[in-house]
Structure 1
Amino acid sequence: MKKFLTILFLCFSLASVAQEITEGSYTDQTVEMADTMRSNGKIYVVVAVIMILFVGLSVYTISVDKKISKLEKEVFKEKVNS
């Protein structure tokens, strides 16, 4: 079953094409979407949202790590005392 799924996903990935690469793709250094967002001032909103998400996930990860460390210490103390 695993071999079948691997072959199936491999066929799908080979058949999919994200975009056509042409000779001009390598010389064109402009990104239209970024230029449009920068000219409208929306690029700062995108950067702010990404930063808020990153900071939020970091704070959440650190708080969960502290809670797990506290629980590990309590379990270790219980094992040593018993």
Structure 2
Amino acid sequence: MRLSFLTKIPLLALLLLSQPLFAQQPVANGVEMADQLRADGKIWVVVAVVAAVFAGIILYLVRLDRQIGKLEKEVKDKSAAVRR
């Protein structure tokens, strides 16, 4: 079933107008888990784990970029050698 452009406009408007309403619902007591972690001082363990995961991802991407760069250089050199 394909919707025409005129039926998409009200659906899009409803979607865009309903997002702020859902986002502004107040939290009654806050987030208990975060409050407990903060009170126990364990929030720093969570921060350290998240930082370690991000550092691992960044190191992986840097390593992957270097490997791709080497492969691109090899392909470029081989194509230049074939042209000669």
Normalising by structure 2, report the TM-score: 0.65
| Aligned mate of 1:15, from 13, 18, 24 | 18
Q: Which structure 2 residues correspond to residues 2-41 of structure 1 after superposition, within 5 A?
A: 4=8, 8-16=11-19, 17-20=22-25, 34-41=34-41
Partners of 1:56 and 1:7 in 2: CA distance: 44
Q: Hey, what's the Cα distance between the residues in 1 that align with 2:74 and 2:10?
A: 48
* Percent identity of equivalent pairs: 37
Q: Which sits farther off after the overlay, 36-45 or 53-62?
A: 36-45
- Give how far 1:7 is off: 5.6
Give the partner amino acid of 1:66.
R
Q: Taking structure 1 as reference, are residues 44 and 12 closer, same or farther at Cα in structure 2, changes over 3 Å only?
A: same
Paired position in structure 1 for 2:47:
47
> Which of structure 1's runs of 4+ aligned residues deviate more than 6 A?
none
Q: State the 1:32 CA deviation.
A: 6.0
Kindly provide the CA deviation profile for residues 52-71 of structure 1, in whole angstroms up to 9, marking residues without a partner as x: 11111011101110110000
Using structure 1 for the length normalisation, give the TM-score.
0.66
Residue ranges of structure 2 left out of the alignment (5+ in a row): none
**Further displaced range: 37-46 or 64-73:** 37-46
Larger radius of gyration: 2
Change (3 A) 1:55 1:7: farther
Structure 1 unaligned segments of length 5 or more: list them: 22-30
Q: Quote the Cα distance in structure 2 between the aligned partners of 1:38 and 1:58.
A: 27
- Mark the CA change 1:47 to 1:73 in structure 2 (over 3 Å): closer, same or farther: same
- TM-superposed CA distance for 1:8, in Å, is 3.2
